[in-house]
C-alpha cells in the first residue's frame, strides 16, 4: 500500500516536471518567435524609406492615368458620329420657336471650373486627392473686389517665354497642353524664404486646399523653392517635383516687409547652410562672400524681381485674407468661404481661418508686433544703393519704410496641418 502511494507520488512528480519542462519550452519558443518577428520587422523597416518615395510616385502615376482616361473619354464622346442622314427629319418648328430649338440642340458648354461645386464626399472631412486631379486648369478669378490681390498684366506673346523659365504652365505653348492630372497642379504660392509661406500653407489647408509646404501636393504647393525652375530641390516634402513634368496653373507672388524678411533670414542662416548652397546655384546675383545682412537683402530684391516676371498675381501676406487667395486661384466657393470643416488633413476639430487685413496707420501702431532685428541703417552701412533699391521696391508694393505700419505678431511655429 505504501509502495503504491510512493509510486503514485513519483509518477505525479514526474508528470509535473514534464509539464514544467513543456511550459519552459513553450516560453522559449515564444521568445524565439518574437525575436524573429522583431528582426523581420527591422529588415522591412530598412526598406520602408526606400520604398515610400516609389509608392508615392506610383500613386501620382495612377491619378495621372485616371485623369488622362477621363480626358480621352471626353474626346471620344465629342468625336462620336452624328445621326445617320437617312433618319426621318423632325417636323419643322414654328418660326417663333426656331431660335429656342437651335439653342437646345447646341452642345452644352464646358463648365467654367473643373472642380465640383459641392462637397461630393460628405458634409465634413478633407477632399479626396482625386478632387484636385483635373485634366485642365480652373480659370483664375481676376476679381477687382478681391482685396489685396494685384494682377500682373502680361502680353500673350510672352507666355511661352515665361513657361520656359518657370514652373508656370501655358496651355498654348508646345508640350504644355499634354500635361494632365497630377502633372498639372492648380496653385503655386511662392516668395522669398521667411515671407510667411508657412502661414499661407496652414490657412489654405484649413480651407480644404490640399497643398504641401516646400513640396508638391494634390492641389499645388506653397514654397519659396519653386520660384526657380531647377533640376533638383533642396527640400522635397513629401514628393519630389520634376521640373520636366510638373506645372502650376496659377502662380502667386507672396510678399512680406523687407526688414522682417531680412532679419528672419539672417537669424535662420547657419555656418554651413544647405539652403544657401542651393541658392548660389539657381540665383546668379548672389555672392557667398557677402555679409549675412547684405546677402539677405540682395536675395529679397532679386527673388522679388524674378517673380514679377513669372507670377500671375501678387499679395502682401500681412494684409491679404487667405480666402481671397483661394478664390482668386479658381477653387470653389464652398471651400474658399468655408468654416474649416473640410480641413485638408484633419477635420476632427474645426480651426479658425485667420484673415489679415490692411490697417489704418493709427490702428496699426496699436497692434503688438515684433521689431525687426535688422534696420534700414544696418543695410545702408553695407550697401546704400542696395538699401535704396529695396526701399523703392517695397514702396511700389505698398509698404511703408517703417514695418510698424504692417504689423505681424502671429507665431506660426505651432501650426500643424
Domain contains 160: yes
- Whether 85 shows a pLDDT value over 50: the answer reads no
Please state which of the ranges 77-91, 224-238, 362-376 shows the lowest mean pLDDT.
77-91
Weakest mean pLDDT among 39-48, 107-116, 247-256, 393-402: 39-48
Q: In the predicted model, is pLDDT for residue 95 greater than 50?
A: no
Q: What domain range is 305 assigned to? A: 143-340+347-405
Spatial separation of the C-alpha atoms in residues 202 and 354, rounded to whole Å:
10
- pLDDT at position 83 is 44
Interhelix angle for 258-268 vs 292-310, to 10°?
Answer: 120
| CA dihedral angle for residue 258, residue 353, residue 335, residue 257, rounded to 10 degrees | -10
Determine, yes or no, domain membership for 57.
no
Asked whether residue 15 is assigned to any structural domain, the reply reads no
- Asked, for residue 135, whether it belongs to a domain, the answer is no
Counting the structural domains of the chain, the total is 1
Q: Is the confidence at residue 58, as pLDDT, over 70? A: no
Q: Report how far residue 358's alpha carbon sits from residue 367's, in angstroms, rounded to the nearest whole number.
A: 12
Residue 241 vs residues 88, 233, 273, 364: alpha-carbon distances, Å: 56, 8, 22, 39
SS3 (DSSP) at 394:
helix
Q: Is residue 219 over pLDDT 90?
A: yes
Residue-averaged pLDDT of the chain: 80
Q: Are 94 and 210 in contact (CB under 8 A)?
A: no
Tell me the pLDDT band of 181, cut-offs 50, 70 and 90: low
| Low-confidence winner among 54-68, 90-104, 323-337 (lowest mean pLDDT) | 90-104
Alpha-carbon distances of 35 from 23, 32, 38, 44, rounded to whole Å: 18, 5, 5, 14
In a domain, 202, yes or no: yes
Q: What is the CA radius of gyration of the chain?
A: 31
Q: In the predicted model, is pLDDT for residue 218 greater than 80?
A: yes
Is pLDDT larger for residue 34 or for residue 62? 34
Inside any domain, residue 166: yes
pLDDT for 259-309, tens place per residue?
Answer: 999 999 999 999 889 999 999 999 999 999 999 999 999 999 999 999 999
CATH number, domain with residue 171: 3.40.50
Mean pLDDT on 311-317: 96
Which DSSP string corresponds to 117-161?
A: SS-TT-SSSPPPGGGG--SSPPPP---TTSTT-EEPP--GGGHHH
pTM: 0.73
- Could you tell me the strand order of the sheet in which 247-255 lies? 150-151, 313-316, 247-255, 184-190, 220-222, 211-213
Does residue 214 belong to any structural domain of this protein? yes
Say if residue 49's pLDDT is above 60: no
Mean pLDDT confidence for 171-183: 65
Residue 48 lies in a domain: no
Ranked by mean pLDDT, the top range of 22-36, 45-59, 359-373 is: 359-373
> What does the alpha-carbon distance between residue 149 and residue 320 come to, in Å, rounded to a whole number?
7
Residue 103 has pLDDT above 60, yes or no: no
Mean pLDDT along residues 58-75: 48
Amino acid at each position: 500500500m505504501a509502495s503504491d502511494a510512493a509510486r503514485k507520488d513519483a509518477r505525479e512528480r514526474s508528470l509535473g516536471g514534464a509539464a514544467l519542462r513543456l511550459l519552459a519550452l513553450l516560453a522559449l519558443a515564444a521568445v524565439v518567435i518574437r525575436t524573429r518577428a522583431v528582426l523581420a520587422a527591422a529588415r522591412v523597416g530598412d526598406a520602408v524609406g526606400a520604398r515610400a518615395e516609389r509608392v508615392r510616385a506610383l500613386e501620382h502615376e495612377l491619378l495621372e492615368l485616371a485623369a488622362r482616361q477621363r480626358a480621352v473619354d471626353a474626346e471620344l464622346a465629342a468625336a462620336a458620329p452624328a445621326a445617320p442622314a437617312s433618319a426621318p427629319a423632325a417636323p419643322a418648328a414654328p418660326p417663333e420657336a426656331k431660335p429656342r430649338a437651335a439653342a437646345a440642340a447646341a452642345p452644352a458648354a464646358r463648365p467654367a471650373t473643373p472642380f465640383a461645386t459641392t462637397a461630393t464626399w460628405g458634409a465634413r472631412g478633407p477632399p479626396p486627392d482625386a478632387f484636385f486631379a483635373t485634366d485642365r486648369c480652373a480659370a483664375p478669378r481676376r476679381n477687382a473686389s478681391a482685396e489685396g490681390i494685384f494682377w500682373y498684366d502680361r502680353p500673350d506673346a510672352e507666355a511661352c517665354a515665361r513657361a520656359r523659365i518657370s514652373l508656370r504652365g501655358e496651355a498654348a505653348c508646345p508640350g504644355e497642353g499634354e500635361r494632365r492630372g497630377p502633372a498639372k497642379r492648380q496653385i503655386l504660392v511662392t516668395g522669398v524664404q521667411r515671407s510667411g509661406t508657412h502661414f499661407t500653407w496652414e490657412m489654405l489647408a484649413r480651407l480644404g486646399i490640399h497643398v504641401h509646404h516646400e513640396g508638391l501636393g494634390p492641389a499645388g504647393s506653397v514654397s519659396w523653392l519653386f520660384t526657380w525652375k531647377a533640376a533638383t530641390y533642396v527640400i522635397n516634402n513629401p514628393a519630389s517635383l520634376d521640373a520636366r513634368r510638373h506645372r502650376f496653373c496659377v502662380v502667386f507672388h507672396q510678399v512680406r516687409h523687407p526688414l522682417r524678411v531680412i532679419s528672419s533670414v539672417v537669424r535662420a542662416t547657419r555656418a554651413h547652410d544647405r539652403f544657401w548652397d542651393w541658392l548660389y546655384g539657381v540665383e546668379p546675383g548672389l555672392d557667398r562672400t557677402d555679409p549675412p545682412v547684405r546677402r539677405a537683402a540682395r536675395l529679397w530684391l532679386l527673388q522679388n524681381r524674378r517673380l514679377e516676371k513669372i507670377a500671375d498675381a501678387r499679395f502682401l501676406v500681412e494684409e491679404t485674407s487667405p480666402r481671397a487667395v483661394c478664390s482668386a486661384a479658381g477653387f470653389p466657393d464652398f471651400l474658399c468661404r468655408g468654416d474649416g470643416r473640410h480641413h485638408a488633413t484633419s477635420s476632427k476639430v474645426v480651426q479658425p481661418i485667420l484673415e489679415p487685413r490692411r490697417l489704418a496707420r493709427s490702428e496699426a501702431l496699436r497692434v503688438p508686433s515684433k521689431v525687426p532685428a535688422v534696420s534700414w541703417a544696418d543695410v545702408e552701412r553695407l550697401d546704400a544703393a542696395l538699401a535704396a533699391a529695396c526701399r523703392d521696391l517695397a514702396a511700389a508694393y505698398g509698404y511703408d519704410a517703417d514695418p510698424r505700419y504692417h504689423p505681424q505678431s502671429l507665431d506660426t511655429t505651432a501650426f500643424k496641418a
